[in-house]
Amino acid sequence: MNTQIDKTVLEKANSWLEGNYDEDTKSAIRSMIANDPQEITESFYRDLEFGTGGLRGIMGVGSNRMNKYTVGAATQGMSNYLKSNFSDLDLIKVAIAYDSRNNSSYFAKITADVFSSNGIKVYLFDDLRPTPELSFAIRHFGCQGGIVITASHNPKEYNGYKAYWDDGGQLISPHDKNVIDEVKKIADVSEINFNGNDNLIEMIGQDVDNIYLDRIKSLSLSPEVIARQKDFKIVFTPLHGTGVTLVPEILKRIGFNGVVLVSEQATPDGNFPTVVSPNPEESAALELAMKKALEIDADLVMATDPDADRVGIAVRKGDEMVLLNGNQAASLLIYYLIVRWKELGKLKGNEYIVKTIVTSELLSKIAAKNNVESFDVLTGFKYIADIIKKLEGEKVFIGGGEESYGYLVGDFVRDKDAVISCAMIAETAAWAADKGIGLYDLLVDIYSEFGLFKEKLISVVRKGKSGAEEIEKIMKNFRENPPAMLDNSGVVMINDYLTGISRNVKSGEETKINLPSSNVLQFFTADGGKVSVRPSGTEPKIKFYFGVVADLVDGAEFEAVNATLESKIDNYIKDLKLN
């Protein structure tokens, strides 16, 4: 059997067998070597690395798995890096939070122990909390970094480790690469300090919750509207995650009395028993909530993922509930924020929004019409946080978002925040209701004013080592053989974020893209279409983002124009040979 195992994989596995690892770990490795060459390969063919979402992987034994040793090594590397960066401080501080996943509290305690054993002060949440509250706590306590244990919306087999810097945003270059470099320097497990110092670990909880919730409440732009719409019916589901800790509470505090929890999904549970995947992007995850909404005649459904940084919504359309995608929800939210800022006289000329390059251009169009600046950043909310950091004190951040259901309002959190988003989306819905319309009708009105922007995402899954190699080949092929036409419209511009070059296809003129290097390609067509191709940084898949647009002269024509655009995207998919 051993001959089927790659030599480097076997060498790495043997280094664990010879190292200072516990006997249960060694026994599991021996069993895999003897009986399961594929599993030993998947467990050891690489080390987990920081991607757009930090460290994330299947729980189990091995260098490519989430376990005590990979978490410990990541924390030791982070400790070493913090100590070298902040050597002038008498006391370096970090905050740690965790979600409802299996082993999350266990990994959080290991993380706290390793930090504290390195002389670093730890603020550890006393129970599960949303990821955005961790970002808030870093800034609140003046920490130099932070960690949240979560695998976001991944299946139950996964867990993860998101690392944050002193601004409350996730690690970006050069810190992300430097931390992993520090991890790689750890030659032996004995270099990881697992023996915690309880004197340096402080438990935090409800006091921080209250401060955080007060700040969210201060974001409200229409308290008088909520007062009039206080009985507006909302169905909320935390999908067995951390959203249950704070979302119902913030909705209550800002004045909503008609919030109904999906009881079957209200208990935190890392096995996510009622869903195949706890992902608010997937319609199946919202089925119970939408059924409840129809039962009680609610107008809005909101569902947060396990660590409550993303939210999916469904809205009423006549006698049914329809799901909105992340681009549509972001468009509604940004529209509401900018319109209300304008009505309240808060627009002074130095305000801005931020979106990612794969997010709908509708957000930029709404901003431009209202003389609000719009910035595009790479995929990953850490880049939105970086813009906020760079512009702090110069410009005023209104809000931002990404198509993958992550949004932020205000700048006291530096990550996507479903607690804030649920509060502000509910307020947007109440504002529309106060005008006698629902969010669906408001969205159609926005399309009538700015154009019907339609987006679609297709993910091609390729698992494991062979899958990673295939994804690499797909990207190479698109670089060497880009499409010339999409749905009979010529490709006029190609952006390659890996080389940092934007090329005009007709003239051959090249301009520099002022963003960090990233393995992303974009193709723009003569009729306003956009296709983005990007390997996921957190999952074994390559993602294709499609965006098309057409004028919508009359809202009554929405269904017809929408169907035409759907057909257009289908033709893009055929032209790219994805079906």
- Catalytic choice (105, 152, 222, 518): 152
Question: In the structure encoding, which two tokens stand for residue 431, read together?
Answer: 């504002």
| Beta strands 158-165; 145-149: pairing state | antiparallel
Q: What backbone torsions phi and psi does residue 130 show, to the nearest 5 degrees? A: -60, 145
Burial of 300 (0-12, 13-18, 19+ CB in 10 A): buried
Query: Closest by alpha carbon to 311, among 238, 397, 233?
Result: 238
Provide the 10 A C-beta neighbour count for residue 199: 8
Q: CA-CA distance, 437 to 229, in Å (whole number)? A: 13
**By the 8 A CB rule, do 378 and 390 touch?**
no
Q: CA-CA distance, 305 to 284, in Å (whole number)? A: 13
Q: CA-CA distance, 292 to 302, in Å (whole number)? A: 12
Determine if the peptide bond prior to 535 is cis (ω within 30°).
Answer: no
Q: Provide Rg for the chain, Cα atoms.
A: 24
DSSP symbols for 269-290:
-TT-TT-SS--TTSGGGGHHHH
Tokens 């266990």, residue? 106
Bridge partners, residue 49, by sequence? none
Q: What backbone torsions phi and psi does residue 234 show, to the nearest 5 degrees? A: -130, 135
Q: CA-CA distance, 515 to 496, in Å (whole number)? A: 11
Residue at 351: amino acid letter: E
Burial of 555 (0-12, 13-18, 19+ CB in 10 A): middle
Q: CA-CA distance, 225 to 214, in Å (whole number)? A: 19
Active site residue 152: yes
Tokens 């107008």, residue? 299
Report DSSP state, residue 170. B
Residues annotated as catalytic (active site), given as ranges: 152
